[in-house]
Amino acid sequence: MLVLFDQGTPVPIRPFLVGHTVETTAQRGWDKLKNGELLEVAEEAGFEVLVTPDKNIRYQQNLTLRRIALVVLATPSGPCSANMSSVSSLR
């Protein structure tokens, strides 16, 4: 599966997506695109999933006709953020 990490997506989670090809918007030169443009070019490039910390994307975009799936990450605060650094130190 071809996965795109949006700006602000923690790159340290990349190794946990074994068997998937992961690229960032910065690698593609898409880091300055607005959400609508980003979704369009990502779909055209064959990306199947966009991982983003942007909780408002579903309210800002009409997603009904989109082929790309969205994974919206929770804000890294509280006990989960502490656990993430522990997980990455285990490897």
Per-residue pLDDT of 3-58, as tens digits, reads 999 999 999 999 999 999 999 999 999 999 998 999 999 999 999 999 999 998 88
- Give pLDDT, residue 68: 94
Distance set, CA 15 to CA 24, 34, 37, 58, 74 (Å): 13, 27, 27, 26, 19
> Residue 89 carries which side chain, given as an amino acid letter?
S
Q: Is 54 within 8 Å of 72 (Cβ atoms)?
A: yes
- How many CA atoms lie within 13 Å of 85's alpha carbon, on the beta-carbon side? 6
Tokens of 57: 């994307």
Q: What is the pTM of this model?
A: 0.79
- Yes or no: say if 72 and 50 are a contact pair by the CB < 8 Å rule: no
